[in-house]
Structure 1
Amino acid sequence: MRVMVITKGDGADEGKGQPTTEMFEKMRAFNEQLVNAGIMLGGEGLQPSGAGARVAFSNAGTSVVDGPFTESKEVIAGYWIWEVSSLAEAVEWARRCPFDAAYGETQVLEIRPLFDMADFAETVDGETLARSEELHDRASTESSPSHG
């Protein structure tokens, strides 16, 4: 099963801590363990919300709000995509994450299984699923140096 492991931190601490060389090395070593075990499919850290934007959709229309998102109690700081045999295996790997106080007082890893196309077989017709899966496969294999 594929899971997304979402790194969350306290919104009040966002941008206050930068990783030290020691912390960066600990995370690199952890990521190397994940790669060597065949678990890690991808992952990145995210810049603070002040560098981003939110696009919100409602019946009244679409709105855009530039960051930072000061009303947020938690912010997403990064993510991994892991291939694991079970949620329990993902939890065991997450427990090994070497977070420390350099990232703020509280860090949380949220683990969420990703959908597979087969999960929609009862509600979406086969042709639409096949076209969606083909598009997903293309997106996974094609690389683009720039997204415009």
Structure 2
Amino acid sequence: MRYMIQVRATPESEAELTPAPDPELMRTMIEYHRRLAEAGVLLDAAGLRPSRDGFRVDHAPGAAPRVIDGPFAETKELIAGYTLIQVRSHDEALEWARRFPAPFGPDKPGVVEVRRLYEMDDFPPLEGDESMRELPGGGAG
């Protein structure tokens, strides 16, 4: 089972002009991710640049897709970073998430949300079409 641990953005993380994280926080994050790697459950991890560097593609019924450039106003709906893990159970994902360091430091608020990824086995097979399963990362857990 794959789970994404998402670090929710804050107004402060969205406002930062250059990444200047606290060195102690960086050491803590590196150590946490080193432990994930040693346990064999780490698939990927990254911080995301503020939404001003991004864009959205809005799909409305009957209309052509519309590109909306960042920044985006609602920081509570934005992700500042993620860690992707592969574990054997929900309980194991929960244990790793409980150990996740305070994302912006122990003296700042932060929210970590954990969501399970869909796997191809969660869907009924499409007769004669195995193409999604053959793609890199195509849902094979």
- TM-score for both structures, normalised by structure 2: 0.83
**Aligned residue number for residue 85 of structure 1:** 88
Deviation string 1:3-23 (CA, Å, 9 cap, x unpaired) is 11111133x222348411111
Contact map agreement 1:19 1:102 (CA 8 A) in 2: no
Aligned residues: 135
Of 93, 98, 102 in structure 2, the residue corresponding to residue 95 of structure 1 is 98
Q: 1:100 to 1:120 in 2, by over 3 A?
A: closer
Identity percentage over the alignment? 37
**Could you say what the CA RMSD is over the residues aligned between the two structures, in angstroms?**
2.4
Deviation string 1:75-130 (CA, Å, 9 cap, x unpaired) is 20011110111112111111111216549843222111112211112xx42322x2
Structure 1: tracts of 5 or more residues without a match: 141-148
Which structure has more strand as a fraction of its residues? Answer: 1
Structure 2: tracts of 5 or more residues without a match: none
Q: Secondary structure at the match of 1:5?
A: strand
> C-alpha distance in 2, partners of 1:39/1:15?
32
Q: 1:5 to 1:126 in 2, by over 3 A?
A: farther
> C-alpha distance in 2, partners of 1:53/1:109?
23
Contact map agreement 1:7 1:110 (CA 8 A) in 2: yes
- TM-score for both structures, normalised by structure 1: 0.79
> C-alpha distance in 1, partners of 2:90/2:120?
19
**Aligned residue number for residue 45 of structure 2:** 43
